[in-house]
Amino acid sequence: MTLLSPIAGLILAAAVLPPLLLLWFLKLRRARTPVSSQRLWREAIEDMRANAPFQRLRWRWLLVLQILILLLIALTIARPRVQGAGQAGQRTILMIDASGSMRATDTGDGRTRLEHAKDVALARVDALHGGGSLFADSGETMVLSFAGDAVVECRFTTSASELRRCIESIQPTDQLTRAEPALRLARAYATNTDPESPWPVGGPAVIECISDGRIPDLADRFLESGESLVYHRIGSEDPSNWSFSVFAADRDVRDPRQVRVLLGLIAEGEALEGEIVLRVDGAVVATRRISTPERPIDSPYGRVDLVLGPFTLDAGAQLEAQVLTADDNDADNLVWLQLPPPNPLRIQAVAPISDLLQFGFESLDPAAFDLVGSTDELGDGYDFAVLDAEAIGDSVLPEGRYLIFGGVPPALGITRSEGEPSPAVVMATEVLHPVMRGVGVERLEVLDAPPWKATRGVTELMSGPNGGLVFASEPAGRRVVVVGFDPMRSNWPALPGFVAFLSNAAAWLSEVPEANSFEPGDVLRVNGPSGGTATLLGPGLEAEIFFDLDGRGQFGPLQTIGRYQVQINAGSLIGYAVNRTDVTENLLSSQKVLQLRGSSISEESSGNTRRSVRGWILLAILGVLVTEWWLWRAR
């Protein structure tokens, strides 16, 4: 037997048992004393009052029964549960985690966590529908698998063979773990299992979650009234694993043929030494030895960041990076990237523009730097536009990419704070952002910097004493770098970091977004001929994509990492890559406790459900009360 709330039971026992014993200590013994005359009545009363209040306790069955009643009540408050196959007729929902972390093989026998999870689920089916419980009415059971989305593998049924078949058919995915869709689906089925009736059928079902416990969104969820959740933990607490957190490639702004590859690695536990290999179109172009990095005290993992290159690539290419070592999850040791062909830098600017700014951009040797008279004349075919904030006024920026100086247009998530423009120096910079990489601003002084404040979703690249100075924002359909002051009213153009800032901003604004790179769970969207079709090829997949009248088609969510190719009308193949670089999902350490809002669910040590025995304890309390009443009447 285990206690779900032992502290509550102990507090209650400590609060009521001492007062009960104290009452028995203070209880006056009013023994029956016959007197031969009323003259002796006063003497008998005085003898009783002379009785000392604190006396040695004598054996009393009533005291024993009262203590027993209080102990049983405290035990009931502690929520005791015993091992068992479940209540008769009880409905059960088996939720099986099929996310990317369940591909790990830290189970001791080389099999994946998902395979062990299916074994636990099959054992639960045997326990619930094996017919071994005396007078037990086998209740209905339902099976869900969940990762980024939830899938009903089997609706409520009493057929053990159907449940086993559905459990064995569950396939792994590489998606992130989300409990919210699974809980919503489970509750919908648990409250109404009759599709022809709008009313709930039966009581709440018991939800049994079979997972490694790495469910980030569960901490924001409540258990509803009457709902029961059982946790079966899969996996070890101390895995050894390498995984990727970053895989990107940058073309040099001045010479787009030159490519640098950026790699971020996560080392969990005692990750072994290994080797990182970079391939371009299948050929090895670079290798690097890696070893376990130092891990911060407050972090469950260590980081390794690498920059490989530059390499000369005159055309588009398929990039592939792989960690060569033995760890607990091979699925996250390989990533892909479809690098587009070089795109010569093309810039357009809204006149007037200062000579210093024009000189700075021309030093980047763009293929084109064209001036237009107003924002209405901005055309297509350029990487980004440069303009002064006054040129846009109070209008909302159209979709596109912009580098803005001297203020902030509306609808970018940046607001003006109270106060007048004042002199400012740089207090902090976001050095990890690509725009600020290698930009030294220690000596930057601004004569009159307006006080700007960034809202959520906007990156403050440079901050002064009264607010932000430079921002990066990516509202829907836009990518914008905003300099909230006039550079000509500062010493920035005279500093070496200004040209580095322009170069970085141009690279960030002109980079081709990872349109051909996806995470598991994303939806692949492609354009094609109106009403036509395309063929999608991927790992174990061949599917057809249909285009609507506007020429838009989609497929998803994408379940598995790997290389994908789309062919439209027997044309050339377009490559896509699906990588799992989410740090939360790549971490493998299984959790002993599922943390919900307001409650914690400990792991189950075996495949059987622990069921409550509070009902039996309440019956025992009633029996003891009847016994106490009988003894009191018999006195």
Share of the chain above pLDDT 70, in %: 84
* 242 and 328 Cβ atoms separated by less than 8 Å: no
Q: How far apart are CA 363 and CA 354, in angstroms?
A: 14
* pLDDT given for residue 135 in this prediction: 39
Q: In sequence order, what are the residues at sequence separation of 6 or more whose Cβ sits closer than 8 angstroms to the Cβ of residue 322?
A: 276, 277, 279, 333, 334, 335
For the stretch 85-127, pLDDT in tens is: 455 557 899 999 999 999 999 988 889 999 999 999 999 998 8
Q: How far apart are CA 406 and CA 487, in angstroms?
A: 7
Whose tokens are 């507090």? That residue is: 11
Single-letter amino acid code for the residue at 234? I
* pLDDT given for residue 141 in this prediction: 92
Q: Has residue 350 got a pLDDT over 90?
A: yes
Share of the chain above pLDDT 90, in %: 41
Q: Has residue 132 got a pLDDT over 50?
A: no
* pLDDT given for residue 38 in this prediction: 55
* pLDDT given for residue 27 in this prediction: 58
State the average pLDDT over residues 354-363. 89
Q: Has residue 202 got a pLDDT over 60?
A: no
Q: Has residue 131 got a pLDDT over 70?
A: no
* pLDDT given for residue 217 in this prediction: 87
* 468 and 454 Cβ atoms separated by less than 8 Å: yes
pLDDT: which is higher, 228 or 347: 347
Q: In sequence order, what are the residues at sequence separation of 6 or more whose Cβ sits closer than 8 angstroms to the Cβ of residue 103?
A: 112, 113, 114, 172, 174, 329, 331
* pLDDT given for residue 608 in this prediction: 40
Q: Choose from 198-207, 211-220, 279-288, 575-584 the range with maximum mean pLDDT.
A: 279-288
Q: In sequence order, what are the residues at sequence separation of 6 or more whose Cβ sits closer than 8 angstroms to the Cβ of residue 5?
A: 77, 78, 79
Q: Has residue 614 got a pLDDT over 80?
A: no
229 phi and psi angles, rounded to 5 deg: -125, 130
pLDDT: which is higher, 401 or 512: 401
Domains (range + CATH), the chain: 2-82+625-634 (no CATH), 86-237+590-607 (3.40.50.410), 346-510 (3.40.50.880), 517-578 (2.60.40.1120)
Please, which residues bridge with residue 564 across strands? Answer: 576
**Residue 88's CB: how many other CB atoms inside 10 A?**
12
Q: In sequence order, what are the residues at sequence separation of 6 or more whose Cβ sits closer than 8 angstroms to the Cβ of residue 165?
A: none
Single-letter amino acid code for the residue at 177? T
Q: Has residue 398 got a pLDDT over 60?
A: yes
Of the candidates 93, 165, 97, the one whose C-alpha atom is nearest the C-alpha of residue 124 is 93
Q: How far apart are CA 577 and CA 401, in angstroms?
A: 25
**Residue 83's CB: how many other CB atoms inside 10 A?**
13
**Cα atoms in the 13 Å half-sphere on the side-chain side of 254:** 10
* pLDDT given for residue 630 in this prediction: 78
Burial class (CB in 10 A: 0-12, 13-18, 19+), 287: exposed
Q: Has residue 508 got a pLDDT over 70?
A: yes
State the average pLDDT over residues 264-285. 91
For the stretch 445-455, pLDDT in tens is: 999 999 999 98
For the stretch 7-45, pLDDT in tens is: 777 887 788 777 766 666 665 555 566 766 555 566 555
Burial class (CB in 10 A: 0-12, 13-18, 19+), 151: middle
Q: Has residue 552 got a pLDDT over 80?
A: yes
